[in-house]
A = this chain, B = another copy of it.
Amino acid sequence: MSHPLPFDVAPWSIGLTDLDEERLAHRESVFALANGHLGWRGCLDEGSPRGAAGSYLNGVFERHPMPYAEDGYGYPDDGQSVVNIPDGTVIRLFVDDEPFDVRRGTVLAHDQRLDFRTGTLTRLVDWVSPTGQRVRVRSERLVSLHHRALGAIRYEVEAVDDAAEVTLLSELVANEPLPRVHPDPRVMEVLERPLNCLGAFVAHERATLVHRTRRSRLGVAVSMDHRVAGPAATTVAVEASGDLARTTVRTTLADGERLRLDKFIGHEWSPSDPADVLRDRAEEAVAEAMHDGWDRVAAAQRERLDEYWQCADIEIEGAPRLLQAARLALFHVFQAAARAEVRSVPGKGLTGAGYEGHTFWDFEAYVLPLLTATAPEAAKQGLLWRHATLGHARARAAQLHLRGAAFAWRTIDGQESSGYWPASTAAFHVNADVAGAVVHYVRATGDDAFERGEGLELLVETARLWVSLGRWSDDGRFHLDGLTGPDEYSARVDDNLYTNLMAQLNLAAAADAARRHASQATALGVTDDEPAAWTAAAEAMAVPFDDELGVHEQHAGFTDAARWPFERMTADDYPLQEHHPYFDLYRKQVMKQADLVLALHFRHDAFTAEQKARAFAYAEALTVRDSSLSASAQAVIAAEVGHLDLAADHLAEAATIDLDDRQGDTSEGMHLAALAGVWTALVAGFGGLRDSPEGLRFAPRLPPAVGRLAFGVKVDGRTLRVDVRAAETTYLLSDGPAVTVHHFGEALELAAGTPTTRQTPPPLEPGPRPTHPEGREPRRFSEAFGD
């Protein structure tokens, strides 16, 4: 399962000298750059060899027909898939007419490195061509966090030991092939060459391509310009047509002489703006960058990241590879969202075409908590994206004969694009996840305008959905029958605990907000009796509990089901869904992922400590973690109930999912939610951070392997740094008025600039370590992160 690449260990970067051709797609994902608008996979500059081409604009997709073996009411007709936009990363080098290719000649040295503070991907190559000419190549690229439309590359070639004729072809390449994003080969045919050229333009040394996707009719403009520094005889020629723009730079370098190319690429897209508008915008982005020059562009990148790290940084003592993994995770999540602007973070961010580029519920449930805590403006943009899809969500609810809004299970533009309803349409919890993210964001930021506006509308429309989805039964409880919770090895169950508790939160929050913002609620058509109905449903929400076992159930009747025959499984049986039919998985006690355990975290207020401990132990024994979403959630509750070593083990698994390609699909992109989960495991796990109406609550306890853990959280726009050691924790608020937080239940009034230190209470006595399914014990922390 696990295919580690030999990344080095460094505190603020991650590098690789290896060049394993079979594993290129993995490194390209890890080394991907993005800013929430534009994403570039970390492909080698020369474009070949390559694992998978990948240049994306957030929101640019192609439609395709959805294939069904048998039809059904409400099945979406159209699917959506991310497609490659014209790729501006390609710079092909020729040395004495030999194409530079790491598979040919001799690579004396090769280093590729992603730097979390500069926000750049650098590459150093020392290469001898097949004909014996040695060159040093240095490239550096960034996707600008400052200029949203901008990607930039500095590319430098140096002749070594002898003079060399050098040619660079710096390109925009449209319609690069997409990896296999859909199981149906005929869907892949539809996605072949999705871009139609509307125009190719050359002016001076600038080239611009304007395209439109064939079926989804989205316009895309990509423009490039260059600054060239080289010997006097260097020539530059530009051409552009159809699917290719090319700037050719030719020169002859004496031994030790260098040719440098600064390439600036501007990217715009729109579903409605005409081609000339898109072209203007893309070219203007390039012109600005040409005016600023590389150094200022790079400085602005560093500046934006310094600002981010000032709050977001995690410090860990005792586990350098974990520290690196945590910062890599923070970097990837931030760059996936930073400039998204009313766009979401897809499951793979903008790092790959996995999941067809779709966004799922884990955007709200996993990614937004991290963004809310470290980059709240980016979190807000994500919530605004969901809000912008309300039209689709209302139409979907109406199609399903429900009220309010039913948000898409998987989508790019908000329209439902899922093809297997038991694990999509039935998984209505996505709506409560949206509502939960609204509540959490408003608590963390005090953003009243958002709450009264988009926030209220999201809460109201989802509350309406729950009331129309559920039913009152004779026992006086409100039930949600036949839905699917987060765990993908169950489907269509009654009273999924997670769904019910999140819906409860949703209903209560909607009622509360509607009462507090009565005029805005009235404007949304909220009738006098609606908030009362929401409150009643929330208060009566069914919470399945097995009295005999004394444990909460993942859903009603779950504990009565047959146990999955773990004892008969071998390593080849995992992931179970690839080797066993759904009908059998669904009818047995086996959990793909945290579901019950996620409820223990997100609805920590709904359980006693003992209930949490019992439910956690029960779930651990049945959870196989075939989902990348699982380990981090398990780490959080393991820590809370006192199994700190187990929490560290789960953290180790979460933190290495993409680094070590534990699921075998990092080639298709980074698992953004799992990356966010690394932060969650640290901060909510060992930091014990919980959101509550009374402010943030902390209960920090470190596992023996970690000497110190420090992290930051935004509170009303200011930074709260929390510095945890085994015996004590210090809280420090950056500025502004005092803030109340809780340390193991004790209220602390934190004045700005004054560190407050409190002791860690005596350790919990959690009893024996929970068991796990045979062969599915979590990775050991010491194995992943030990010396």
Chain A contacts to B: CB under 8 angstroms: 65-75, 79, 183-186, 400-401, 418-422, 425-426, 471, 473, 481-483, 491-492, 494, 557, 560-562, 577-584, 586-588
Within the assembled complex, what's the spacing in Å between the Cα atoms of A462 and B75?
34
> Is the Cβ of A183 less than 8 Å from the Cβ of B71?
yes
Given contacts A183-B68, A400-B581, A401-B580, contact A481 B73 (CB under 8 A): no
Within the assembled complex, what's the spacing in Å between the Cα atoms of A419 and B67?
11
Given contacts A481-B561, A586-B492, A587-B492, contact A67 B581 (CB under 8 A): no
Within the assembled complex, what's the spacing in Å between the Cα atoms of A481 and B584?
9
The 7 nearest A-B residue pairs measured at CB: A69-B419, A482-B587, A67-B67, A70-B420, A71-B183, A74-B581, A481-B587
**Which of A421, A562, A582 has most chain B Cβ within 10 Å?**
A582
Q: Which of B183, B562, B579 contacts A481 (CB 8 A)?
A: B562
Query: Could you list 19 examples of A-B contacts with CB < 8 Å?
Result: A67-B67, A67-B68, A68-B184, A70-B183, A71-B183, A72-B420, A72-B577, A73-B578, A73-B579, A73-B581, A73-B582, A400-B584, A421-B581, A421-B583, A422-B422, A422-B583, A481-B588, A492-B583, A557-B557
User: Chain B contacts of A473 at CB under 8 A?
Assistant: 560, 562
**Which of A65, A481, A491 has most chain B Cβ within 10 Å?**
A481
A71, chain B: closest CB distance, angstroms: 4
User: Chain B contacts of A422 at CB under 8 A?
Assistant: 422, 583
User: Chain B contacts of A562 at CB under 8 A?
Assistant: 471, 473, 481
Copies of this chain held together in the complex: 2
> Is the Cβ of B73 less than 8 Å from the Cβ of A580?
yes
> Is the Cβ of A586 less than 8 Å from the Cβ of B482?
yes
User: Chain B contacts of A584 at CB under 8 A?
Assistant: 400-401, 482
Query: Given known contacts A72-B581, A73-B581, A482-B587, what 6 new A-B pairs fall within 8 Å (CB)?
Result: A67-B186, A69-B418, A69-B420, A73-B582, A421-B583, A481-B588
User: Chain B contacts of A586 at CB under 8 A?
Assistant: 482, 492
**Which of A69, A473, A483, A557 has most chain B Cβ within 10 Å?**
A69
User: Chain B contacts of A421 at CB under 8 A?
Assistant: 581-583
A472, chain B: closest CB distance, angstroms: 9
User: Chain B contacts of A419 at CB under 8 A?
Assistant: 68-70
**Which of A68, A79, A183, A422 has most chain B Cβ within 10 Å?**
A68
Within the assembled complex, what's the spacing in Å between the Cα atoms of A579 and B473?
26
Q: Which of B69, B579, B580 contacts A67 (CB 8 A)?
A: B69
With CB as the reference atom, state the residue of chain B lying closest to A469: B584
> Is the Cβ of B68 less than 8 Å from the Cβ of A483?
no
A665, chain B: closest CB distance, angstroms: 14
A748, chain B: closest CB distance, angstroms: 47
Within the assembled complex, what's the spacing in Å between the Cα atoms of A280 and B65?
46
A538, chain B: closest CB distance, angstroms: 19
Given contacts A186-B186, A492-B492, contact A425 B72 (CB under 8 A): no
Within the assembled complex, what's the spacing in Å between the Cα atoms of A186 and B68?
11
Q: Which of B69, B72, B400, B577 contacts A66 (CB 8 A)?
A: B69
Within the assembled complex, what's the spacing in Å between the Cα atoms of A561 and B481?
8
User: Chain B contacts of A471 at CB under 8 A?
Assistant: 562
Within the assembled complex, what's the spacing in Å between the Cα atoms of A420 and B73?
13
Within the assembled complex, what's the spacing in Å between the Cα atoms of A588 and B469?
12
User: Chain B contacts of A557 at CB under 8 A?
Assistant: 557
User: Chain B contacts of A583 at CB under 8 A?
Assistant: 400, 421-422, 425-426, 482-483, 492
Given contacts A421-B582, A562-B471, contact A73 B587 (CB under 8 A): no
> Is the Cβ of B183 less than 8 Å from the Cβ of A73?
no
> Is the Cβ of A70 less than 8 Å from the Cβ of B582?
no
User: Chain B contacts of A426 at CB under 8 A?
Assistant: 583
A455, chain B: closest CB distance, angstroms: 28
With CB as the reference atom, state the residue of chain B lying closest to A401: B580
User: Chain B contacts of A68 at CB under 8 A?
Assistant: 67-69, 183-184, 419
**Which of A418, A421, A473, A491 has most chain B Cβ within 10 Å?**
A421
User: Chain B contacts of A183 at CB under 8 A?
Assistant: 68, 70-71
A66, chain B: closest CB distance, angstroms: 5
With CB as the reference atom, state the residue of chain B lying closest to A424: B70
User: Chain B contacts of A67 at CB under 8 A?
Assistant: 67-69, 184, 186
> Is the Cβ of B72 less than 8 Å from the Cβ of A79?
no
User: Chain B contacts of A577 at CB under 8 A?
Assistant: 72-73
Within the assembled complex, what's the spacing in Å between the Cα atoms of A421 and B483?
18
A768, chain B: closest CB distance, angstroms: 25
Within the assembled complex, what's the spacing in Å between the Cα atoms of A337 and B561?
43
User: Chain B contacts of A494 at CB under 8 A?
Assistant: 587
A128, chain B: closest CB distance, angstroms: 46
Q: Which of B69, B482, B492, B588 contacts A79 (CB 8 A)?
A: B69
Within the assembled complex, what's the spacing in Å between the Cα atoms of A416 and B431?
37
Within the assembled complex, what's the spacing in Å between the Cα atoms of A471 and B587?
11
User: Chain B contacts of A582 at CB under 8 A?
Assistant: 72-73, 421
A318, chain B: closest CB distance, angstroms: 42
User: Chain B contacts of A560 at CB under 8 A?
Assistant: 473
**Which of A72, A586, A587 has most chain B Cβ within 10 Å?**
A587
A373, chain B: closest CB distance, angstroms: 33
Within the assembled complex, what's the spacing in Å between the Cα atoms of A554 and B472?
22
**Which of A72, A79, A577 has most chain B Cβ within 10 Å?**
A72
Within the assembled complex, what's the spacing in Å between the Cα atoms of A400 and B184?
23
User: Chain B contacts of A579 at CB under 8 A?
Assistant: 73
Within the assembled complex, what's the spacing in Å between the Cα atoms of A491 and B586?
12
